[in-house]
Structure 1
């Protein structure tokens, strides 16, 4: 089924592409003001997503298609400079997941991102930090049942995710 708003899908996908370009730019290619540019992209994307949400509600599968719905989640995931909006997006995404209009895995990541920002342990073990001790998963509640919660959200087991994260980020 074609999305109802392909124009919004195109915008969300373009914004996701720029988000990822900023985040994945090799250090050697980063200009001196890269961090400021990166933050400006995040702020602009947050404002754009807010406008979409205000006008249409959560941009789920029916409105923009699966790939652009995932792009909307990514923009919300990176809206940490506006925690009030990020929490609003979380509630809207949760409602969309409940009716099958968004991906439960995306919701799991945003739940964890919001909880970490709020100083709470995460639920699904999706958030990592790199510090003086290296790469490590942020604290998680009830670790004995982590893989059960991950499976319910459509996520791979923690051990597989942890190995993938280390392969991606310990070299960087």
Structure 2
């Protein structure tokens, strides 16, 4: 499989993932599993699909597949490790999202304030470690302040 084929398939997988958000849970899980199997093949062939290997959009698609593979935390952890190892060619903001996703599942507390749940029509963040230094951590990755992000979340997802 050539990188052009990988790029096309990753972008298609991302599109399928986003379309599955409105589907029944079991249908969504099938899409997620199929995407995960494909990403595993990609990783076995080229390592983590970094920006320099496949471009920014396809690399983001790979991250999205990992991010949504909640049923397989071992796979998510492997992807996070690979992303961190290739930090120079991986968007650090995406690393933060995946790291938070894993942390919320494991300890209930996130590091960057990227993970939310819906409560009474409002998006609420899962608990955040060391809240006083949250915006410094976010800023170090080029992220907006947490309060700005919270406003965006609640506008975007009404």
TM bin, normalised by shorter chain, reads: over 0.9
CA distance in 1, matches of 2:16, 2:106: 27
CA distance in 2, matches of 1:133, 1:19: 24
Q: Post-superposition shift, 1:156?
A: 1.0
CA distance in 2, matches of 1:110, 1:153: 14
Q: Deviations over 1:119-152 (max 9, x none)?
A: 2411100000113584210000111111110011
TM-score, structure 2 length as denominator? 0.94
1:126 matched to 2:114: yes
Q: How does 1:3-152 map to 2 (within 5 A)?
A: 5-23=3-21, 25=22, 30=23, 34-97=24-87, 100-131=88-119, 134-152=122-140
CA distance in 2, matches of 1:120, 1:90: 18
CA distance in 2, matches of 1:135, 1:101: 31
CA-based RMSD: 1.5
Report if the CA contact (8 A) 2:113-2:126 is conserved: yes
Report if the CA contact (8 A) 2:7-2:54 is conserved: yes
Answer 1 or 2: higher relative contact order, Cα 8 Å, separation at least 6.
1
Q: Deviations over 1:55-113 (max 9, x none)?
A: 2110001211111001111111001111111100010011111xx11100000101100
